[in-house]
Chain A
Amino acid sequence: MEDLESVLQKHSFLSDLKPEHVKLIVGCAKNLRFRPGEFLAREGQKEACMYLIRRGTVAIETHAPNGETICIETLMPGDVLGISWVTPAKAHFDCRARDTVIAFSLDHDCLHRKMNEDAELGYAIASRLLDNTYQRLSRLRLQQLDVYR
């Protein structure tokens, strides 16, 4: 049976991270399961951890004044959720499991501490987050153009 460390390293966000760095952050990680409809994060609430999605789909949602739910984007296996802690900030959107979601959670405080203690790990995680954020930003820019109108 694979241990948490080896499974963690298989996630695309961490796939080429040095084994000694994976060892460092494994203590911050938990393997979690969310039922369909369960929230991984709620708008306005503090995000205590970052999620690396392994299975299932997470909807990033907000709501209109009439209460209507608007789905802005869905995240899939391989994606990262909960990156607003970088600023740090509270969650900007609701993040809801659409089906059964299996994800690694990485405790923010723990991860921050490890990143501060090991600058190389800090750079490796920060550059992955930057790359992920840039890709998300590019997609959102295209979405904002509303090209099918």
Chain B
Amino acid sequence: MSTAEAIRTVPNAYIPSPMRIGRAGHDIEGVFTWVLEPAAPFPFEPGQFNMLYAHGVGEVPISISGDPNDFSTLHHTIRVVGSVTEALGTLEAGDEVGVRGPFGSTWPLAEASGQDVLFVAGGLGLAPLRPAILSVLTRRSEFGQVTIIYGARSPTDILFRAELERWRGRFDVTLEAIVDHSGTDWYGPVGVVTRLVAEAEIDPEYCVAMLCGPEIMMRFTARELEQRGLETSQIWVSLERSMKCGVGLCGHCQLGGTFVCKDGPVYRYDQVAAKLLMRGL
């Protein structure tokens, strides 16, 4: 059964299903990854997210960071930024958490088939892109040149470092990482991620770019890609807003005429570029 065929209807989009934490691991400072063990197969598409519920505290939207071909586990990479994620951070392997989902739009892997793929991730933005990267690498022959560009604050803030090194070791992937600041223990480039985008080998006619990271970083990166000759319709971004219901009803995540939880979080850039320039939207 393909992932697309396996997409299920969420039984009840409003009621969290209890799910056991199989493994909980520390990634970098303030960031941890859970491997959840669903009672039944849990198919999802790259780019989607779940609402994770810390019992008695609240819910947060968290992107799925695992392999979409693995229906038996569910990976979530979480940064502690508020009371809910703080509460989630106190849970350990064996504990239960509430899960609603999967929700949202997906990375355009079908559109990217036969074309070069450029992934640009910044900071924790690598987590929502990871399922798309794993999908592309699993079906590597279906795509042209695959380039991954990753930017982090410093060498100690690099997420999934061992996996990045494995990807970099592949002959069929180009991977470059850059950090904003470093000491003398980092041998890679130092500067902002747009620097590597400016240098990347891109064929603008046959390229699909998928960006995920802080919104400012994505705006700058998209601008750089436009300068490199890409159309905004070839660029995809994953947005974050205050998502609550997950099904486009409550309006907390409204962005112009769209709801990020339902119509996003992955958008084609030409559909949101103007909205992202409107302050406070």
* B217 lies within 8 A of A142 (CB): yes
Query: Does B194 contact A71, Cβ atoms closer than 8 Å?
Result: no
Binary B-proximity of A106-149 (CB < 8 A = 1, otherwise 0): 00000000000000000000000000000000010011011111
Nearest A residue to B154 via CB reads A148
Contact present for A143 and B182 (CB under 8 Å): no
Contact: B190 with A73, CB < 8 Å?
A: yes
Tell me the bound Cα distance from A146 to B194 in angstroms: 14
Which residues of B195-242 are within 8 A (CB) of A? Answer: 195, 199, 213-214, 216-217, 220
Q: How many residues of chain A are within 8 Å of chain B by beta carbon?
A: 19
Interface residue SS majority, chain A: mixed
Cβ-defined contact, A74 with B191, below 8 A: yes
Is B14 interfacial (CB-CB < 8 Å)? no
**Chain B residues closer than 8 Å to A72, beta-carbon distance:** 181, 190
Please tell me if B18 contacts chain A, counting CB pairs below 8 Å. no
Contact A71 B181 (CB under 8 A): yes
Given contacts A71-B181, A148-B123, A148-B214, are A143 and B192 in contact (CB under 8 A)? Answer: yes
Binary contact readout B112-143 vs A (1 if CB under 8 angstroms, 0 otherwise): 00000000001110000000000000000000
Contact B199 A76 (CB under 8 A): yes
| Residue of A whose beta carbon sits closest to that of B220 | A142
Query: Across the interface, which residues of A come within 8 angstroms of B189, CB to CB?
Result: 57, 74, 76
Residues of B within 8 A of A146 (CB): 153, 180
Produce 1/0 per residue, A53-91, CB < 8 A to B. Answer: 000010100000000111111101000000000000000
Interface core residue of B123, B187, B189, B217 (most chain A CB under 10 Å):
B189
Q: How far is the CB of B226 from chain A (nearest CB, A)?
A: 14
Please determine whether A71 and B190 come into contact, CB atoms closer than 8 angstroms.
yes
Is B190 touching A147 in the complex (CB atoms < 8 A)?
A: no
A42 in the interface, Cβ–Cβ < 8 Å? no
Q: Which of B123, B182, B213, B214 has the most CB of A within 10 A?
A: B182
Instruction: Determine if B184 is an interface residue (Cβ-Cβ < 8 Å).
Output: yes
What's the Cα separation between A76 and B195 when bound, in Å? 10
Say yes or no for A92: interface residue by CB 8 A criterion.
no
CB of A98 within 8 Å of the partner chain: yes
Asked if B157 is an interface residue, CB under 8 A from chain A, the answer is yes
Query: In the complex, what residues of A have CB within 8 A of residue B152's CB?
Result: 148
Residues on B with C-beta less than 8 A from A139 are: 191-192, 194-195
Given A76-B199, A142-B220, A148–B183 Cβ distance below 8 Å?
Answer: no
Contact A74–B123 (Cβ < 8 Å): no
Complex: how many Å from CA A145 to CA B122?
Answer: 13
Residues in A with CB closer than 8 Å to B160 are none
Contact check, A148 vs B195: say whether CB atoms are below 8 A apart: no
User: What are the residues of chain B within 8 A of A147 when measuring CB–CB?
Assistant: 122-123, 213-214, 216-217
Q: When the two chains form their complex, are residues A71 and B187 in contact, meaning their CB atoms are under 8 A apart? A: no
Residues of chain A at the chain B interface (Cβ within 8 Å): 57, 59, 68-74, 76, 98, 139, 142-143, 145-149
Q: A59-B190, A142-B216 are known; give 17 further A-B pairs, CB within 8 A.
A: A71-B183, A71-B190, A72-B181, A72-B190, A73-B190, A76-B199, A98-B187, A139-B194, A139-B195, A143-B180, A147-B122, A147-B213, A147-B217, A148-B151, A148-B157, A148-B180, A148-B214
B positions within 8 Å CB-CB of A:
122-124, 151-153, 157, 180-184, 186-187, 189-192, 194-195, 199, 213-214, 216-217, 220
| Top 4 A-B pairs, shortest CB-CB distance | A148-B123, A147-B214, A148-B153, A74-B190
A-B contact pairs, 27 of them (CB 8 A): A57-B189, A68-B183, A70-B181, A70-B183, A71-B182, A71-B183, A71-B184, A72-B181, A72-B190, A73-B190, A74-B189, A74-B190, A139-B195, A142-B192, A142-B217, A143-B180, A143-B181, A143-B191, A143-B192, A146-B153, A146-B180, A147-B122, A147-B213, A148-B153, A148-B157, A148-B214, A148-B217
